[in-house]
Structure 1
Amino acid sequence: MTKTTGGWLESIKTVVYAVLIAVGIRTVAFEPFNIPSGSMIPTLQVGDYLFVSKYAYGYSRHSIPFSPNLFEGRILGALPKRGDVAVFKYPRDNSTDYIKRIVGLPGDRIQMRSGRLFLNGQEVPRESLGPYTVEGDGPRMTVRRYRETLPRNGGTRQHEILEAMDDGPYDNTQEFLVPPGHVFAMGDNRDNSLDSREMNAVGFVPLENLVGRAEMIFFSVDGSAAWYEVWNWPSAIRWSRLFSGVN
């Protein structure tokens, strides 16, 4: 074997090891995701890049790249908590990634009445925070912002939501009973989110479809600069969102 051949083999081995380590981290620890739509505004903005913890709810086949059908259910599984922002595989195709807030656990009764969320027959409190201007997701518009408080584990979890109106298509629903092995997920941008309220689309989310819990925004751009406009990159970065936690 020549010295040149040996050098190439060492380089290939280094690349293979690096790929295996990266895949291992992506499978068992953290995976990066980006936000392409505005269904989770104001919590998540279009152009946010975030890390999702893969270990938060245990591991299913969807924890592995390309979701190979190696096993059923979850290993080291744990239920989400109400209020968690979670990534899951779209139940209709088990391949598209969705990110929403978990508002209902197995056995919970969920209903929307005039834009208000009801959990097990009790109205979930919300506090008005004034107007909010939505940008970067279609036409610029001003809606109402609220702080919603979900009960969980003997305590509460607060997060912000948006409502353009209280009489939209998903503001008055039937009462949904979350079946065993499933959760109920909704977007924080309540009038601009396709989620569990639409049974013919997302519906109840199987626990097996959970990929992980959103933890931290590590990068964010507002879309004002093209990839080749290097000179505009600094002004396009949302510096205040970098390395912020996902609430």
Structure 2
Amino acid sequence: MSFDRKKTIIEYTLRKEGTKPKKKNKKLRRFQQMIILIAAAIVLGYAFVVFMFQTVKMVGPSMQGTINEGETVVISKIGKLLHGVKRNDVVAVKRSNDKYYSIKRVVGVPGDKVKISGGRLYINGEYYELKSGDIIVNPGTASSEIELLDNEYFLLGDNVNNSDDSRFSNLGIVQKTDITGIVVYRIKPWSKRSKIR
């Protein structure tokens, strides 16, 4: 065998062997990139759920008929950010010193004049029918007309005669910053899964 032929065989062998580790390195790099992408997707998904949605258990009878005590609902924080808080939204409120969330329905929005007279709710002088259709026994502070300022909301429980809401000092007029989000869905009990309206 000539020297040139031996040299060619050695060069070929070295070249061939030299490519194997590169292929392994390339596969390893791809695998590492895939793991990083999966981890990033999990972290982003978790952050999305934590910062955009939250689950809350209903405490008390104030929304009986719409959300019963002990039921678990989903709060959309992003809904508040994207669409704002509107009349008839069901919202969750929690101030820094509150132990539990208060879940109520928005009846008065900034700029509204709210009054309860003769067992009926009036918004800007017009009768506003409650979802329950109930007569309001105790008007609380709304026996006199209340004008809502910027970022102020007036909330009532759907079970209006068994609700500690904006008529009373425990909750009172609610600031937009105290509204965590809009209640959008009931997830427990499983048999009653449904949108909240």
TM-score relative to the length of structure 2: 0.70
2:154 aligned with 1:184: yes
Does the 8 Å CA contact 2:142/2:167 hold for their aligned counterparts? no
How far is the alpha carbon of 1:183 from its aligned partner? Answer: 1.1
Match of 2:180 in 1: 211
Distance 1:122 1:109 in 2: 10
Structure 1 residues 98 and 172: alpha-carbon distance in aligned structure 2, compared to 1, 3 A threshold: closer
How far is the alpha carbon of 1:20 from its aligned partner? Answer: 7.4
Unaligned runs of 5+ in 1: 1-13, 59-75, 126-147, 149-159, 221-236
How far is the alpha carbon of 1:47 from its aligned partner? Answer: 2.0
Q: Deviations over 1:125-169 (max 9, x none)?
A: 4xxxxxxxxxxxxxxxxxxxxxx3xxxxxxxxxxx3264x64336
Distance 1:182 1:95 in 2: 22
How far is the alpha carbon of 1:33 from its aligned partner? Answer: 0.9
Distance 2:127 2:109 in 1: 16
Q: What one-letter code is carried by the residue in structure 1 that aligns with 2:87?
A: R
Which of the two has higher C-alpha Rg?
Answer: 2
Distance 1:182 1:20 in 2: 33
Distance 1:166 1:206 in 2: 23
- RMSD between superposed Cα atoms in Å: 2.8
Q: How does 1:1-247 map to 2 (within 5 A)?
A: 21-28=45-52, 30-58=53-81, 78-90=83-95, 93=97, 96-125=100-129, 148=130, 160-161=131-132, 163=134, 166-168=136-138, 170=140, 173-198=143-168, 200-220=169-189, 239=191, 241-242=192-193, 244-247=194-197
Structure having the higher strand fraction is 1
How far is the alpha carbon of 1:209 from its aligned partner? Answer: 1.2
Structure 1 residues 189 and 162: alpha-carbon distance in aligned structure 2, compared to 1, 3 A threshold: farther
Match of 1:137 in 2: none
Distance 2:160 2:133 in 1: 6
Q: SS at the partner of 1:101?
A: strand
Q: What one-letter code is carried by the residue in structure 1 that aligns with 2:175?
A: P
Unaligned runs of 5+ in 2: 1-37
TM-score relative to the length of structure 1: 0.57
Q: Bigger CA drift: 93-102 or 36-45?
A: 93-102
Q: What one-letter code is carried by the residue in structure 1 that aligns with 2:73?
A: L
Aligned residues: 160
Distance 2:172 2:57 in 1: 23
Distance 2:102 2:66 in 1: 15
Does the 8 Å CA contact 1:38/1:189 hold for their aligned counterparts? yes
Distance 2:161 2:76 in 1: 28
Distance 2:177 2:141 in 1: 28
Does the 8 Å CA contact 1:182/1:205 hold for their aligned counterparts? yes
How far is the alpha carbon of 1:95 from its aligned partner? Answer: 6.0
Does the 8 Å CA contact 1:83/1:101 hold for their aligned counterparts? yes
